[in-house]
Amino acid sequence: MSIFLLGQTASTFFTVAITLERFVVIYWPLKAQSICTIKTTWRSSAIIFVFSSLSVLPHYFAFHVLETVESENGTTMYAPQRTEFGKLGYKFVYEKWMFPILNYTIPFTILIILNAFIYLQVNIQNSLLGYAREQDLRERILRQEF
């Protein structure tokens, strides 16, 4: 379960990082080559991995594996069981508040805001491009008339 949570958190924040890179490329196209480098990518990947690991760390202390052996056939069964930490603060603070805010609310709010700005900027650029094409077409028509 912990590896799943680590992957889920990392995947969510990698998506945010990619959207942030798209935002930089669209809003500052001339600076994007110096901002979005391989070194920056490695650094952001390391930060995302460390943050994801730290955000999932309480999960490791909330459960332990209970081993039971059936007397009839000698089969060993393993089941997760909550520790004292898992029964007290983890369930209410981490599962109810911290995890949903860190993994859903904050990333998806950032994604919505950045994608809205990207959409607006692309529409502005497309309208400017359409205006430039109209001006170019008018100039060609005027040149042909004279």
- The DSSP annotation for the chain comes to -HHHHHHHHHHHHHHHHHHHHHHHHHH-TTTHHHHS-HHHHHHHHHHHHHHHHHHHHHHHHHEEEEEEE-TTT--EEEEEEE-HHIIIIIIIIIIIIIHHIIIIIHHHHHHHHHHHHHHHHHHHHHHHHHHHHHHHHHHHHHHHH-
CA distance 67 to 92: 26
Residue 112's pLDDT is 97
pLDDT band for position 145 (cuts 50, 70, 90): low
pLDDT number for residue 109:
97
Q: Tell me which of 126 and 35 has the higher pLDDT.
A: 35
Lowest mean pLDDT among 6-20, 93-107, 124-138: 124-138
Asked if pLDDT for residue 1 goes beyond 60, the answer is no
**Residue where the block lists tokens 């056939």:** 73
State residue 125's pLDDT score. 87
Contact 10, 100 (CB under 8 A): no
Given a contact cutoff of 8 angstroms between Cβ atoms, the answer to whether 92 and 38 are in contact is no
What does the pLDDT look like over 11-34, one tens digit per residue? Answer: 999 999 999 999 999 999 899 999
Q: What is the pLDDT of residues 68-97, one digit of tens each?
A: 887 777 788 888 888 888 888 777 788 888
Domains and CATH numbers, the chain: 2-145 (1.20.1070.10)
Instruction: Give the Cα separation of 92 and 16 in Å (integer).
Output: 27
For residue 146, is pLDDT > 60?
no
Q: What is the pLDDT of residue 94?
A: 81
Global pTM value: 0.76
Q: How far apart are CA 93 and CA 145, in angstroms?
A: 75
Q: What is the pLDDT of residue 50?
A: 95
Q: What is the separation of C-alpha 54 from the centre of its chain, rounded to a whole number of angstroms?
A: 16
Best CA proximity match to 10, nearest among 51, 60, 42 = 51
Q: Which residues contact 77 (CB under 8 A, 6 or more apart)?
A: 67, 68, 69, 70
